[in-house]
Amino acid sequence: MECLSLDYKSAGVDGRKRFAMTARVREALYGQFKNAGGCVAVITCGRSEFYFTCAKKEAETILRTVFGAETDAFRFYEDEQALQHLFALTAGLCSMLVGEDEILGQVREGYETARKSGMTGRLDAVFQSALSCGKKVRSRTGISSQACSLATLAANAVFSFKEGRKKVLVIGAAGKIGGLVLKNLAAGKNTEITATLRTHAFTAEAAGVRTIPYDSRYAALNDADCVVCATASPHTVLQADEVRKGLKEEKERLFIDMAVPPDIEAAVAEIPGCTLLGIDGFRAQAEENNCKKEKAKEQACLIVEECVAEFLADEAARENAEKIRGLGDAQRRALYALRKEDPRAFVEKMKEQKEGVAGNE
């Protein structure tokens, strides 16, 4: 398995938005990868990652064809390095906010979507093991005990913006991130929340949340102190010129954009009284939060190493099953004991035996 990864460390929002995916783009991507051995795409607000079994050059060609953008900024992981990265990703160790809860579900969703498209034949075992590792890390460590969600940080930014009661407009509350922001806001005090409504199917889960039609979003801006956008739209949902028209009263306002590609046009920050905070703007708060988790992070890294070693040992056992069955009882017992006590040593033992057979040939 190999991986091409673009995340918040290697590219800003403008770079990452070129590899954001609509359903149509995903269909085109998997159509291209179908003849190349399959692919799993993991797309979040902080990263676009593609796991595949074909050659790197072939994968890069497919990405350039589908997205119409260069892949120079992507990090490349191969073989065990790719395994380590995926397992660490599901554990929450690669996120801006270490231990965040959402990434495990996002990887699972990316895998399940690819599986239903028939793209995971040679990737099933590794993704299932990585997801199991992510759950193990969360159950054994306190890595998720602190505020571990960008949605939480967004809500905290609203709470700390000015004193007193605040009127908050949430655009995209029916989505996963928007829904989490909404729940966090509703759990706080001194907030009067309005959420946009795209379809009649959406019901605000939080008590006291007023809903308005999505098309009324500009008209609702004037009353708002804070505006949070978290849609899955491939286009800007708040354009600066329309925002200016909607703001009849000049006052301090906070706009928070949780989307990639961005929901809010950058020029909104130039409107008097308006502060625009993009998703990468939470990095300072995330780093402060991460510092409190150093011990849990160390424990998580050890668990990831353990899970990777166990996966490699399982793979080596499957590849050498026939050879192991041909050994004497004592040798088999010794190998099984080695596999349990030291998976890495077991993998090396299998390699040595394989190389020895090849040398004899």
The reply to whether 45 belongs to the active site is yes
What are the tokens at 143? Answer: 């890595």
What are the tokens at 227? Answer: 């505006």
Say which of 39, 45, 226, 229 is annotated catalytic.
45
Q: Mind giving me the DSSP string for 244-301?
A: HHH--S---EEEEE--SS-SB-GGGGGSTTEEEEEGGGGHHHHHHHHHTTHHHHHHHH
Q: Report whether the peptide linkage leading into residue 261 is cis, meaning its omega lies within 30 degrees of zero.
A: yes
Residues 6+ apart with CB under 8 A from 43: 19, 20, 21, 49, 110
- The stretches of 39-123 forming alpha helices (DSSP H) are 56-67, 79-90, 102-116
**138 and 203 in contact (C-beta within 8 Å)?**
no
**122 and 230 in contact (C-beta within 8 Å)?**
no
**350 and 335 in contact (C-beta within 8 Å)?**
no
What are the tokens at 105? Answer: 């579900």
8-13 contacts at long range (C-beta below 8 A, 24 or more positions apart): 8/46, 8/47, 8/96, 8/280, 8/283, 10/73, 10/74, 10/75, 11/73, 12/280, 13/260, 13/261, 13/262, 13/278, 13/279, 13/280
Token pair 């050994």 is found at 327
Q: What is the DSSP letter of 238?
A: B
Rounded to an integer, what distance in angstroms lies between the CA atom of residue 343 and that of residue 230? 44
**144 and 138 in contact (C-beta within 8 Å)?**
yes
- Residue 53, helix vs strand vs coil: coil
Give me the active site residues, please: 45
